[in-house]
Structure formats: C-alpha cells, structure tokens
Amino acid sequence: MEPDKDKSEFEKDVQEAKRIADEAEGGTRHVTGWSSWIVPILALSWSLFQLSVASWFF
C-alpha cells in the first residue's frame, strides 16, 4: 500500500478491482431504467419464438 493513500481510498480501490474482476469473469450486470424491462421481455420473446419454430417441424 502506498504511504500517501489512506485506508478508505485503498478500500475503494479494492472494491473497484473486485467489481471489474466480477464483470470480466461473467458476473451479472445490474441493468437499470428502461433496459431492466427490455432485457427480460426480449429473452422471453426469443425463447417462445424458438419453441414455436421447433414445434413447426415435429
């Protein structure tokens, strides 16, 4: 630890490093606003579409 940094700045840096590592390792992202509605609706729609296409052929 650098002598001119106090403990709270060091803890903030550690938390930021953990956040970046979690995102890089495939951790979830926290969506906010309108995208918090679009993402699940799009996922559900795509899943239902895929199921309907599969039922066309069998």
- What are the residue boundaries of the structural domains of the chain, listed by start? 32-58
| pLDDT at residue 32, rounded to an integer | 85
The CB-side HSE value for 58 (13 A sphere, CA atoms) comes to 6
% of the chain at pLDDT higher than 90: 36
Convert the pLDDT of each residue in 9-18 to its tens digit. Answer: 888 999 999 8
- Residues whose CB is less than 8 angstroms from the CB of residue 55 and which lie 6 or more positions away in sequence, other chains included: none
Tokens 């903030």 label which residue?
12
Q: Is the pLDDT of residue 49 over 80?
A: yes
Q: Are 46 and 38 in contact (CB under 8 A)?
A: no
| pLDDT-derived band at 46, boundaries 50, 70, 90 | very high
Say what the pTM is.
0.49
How many Å apart are CA 28 and CA 19, to the nearest integer? 10
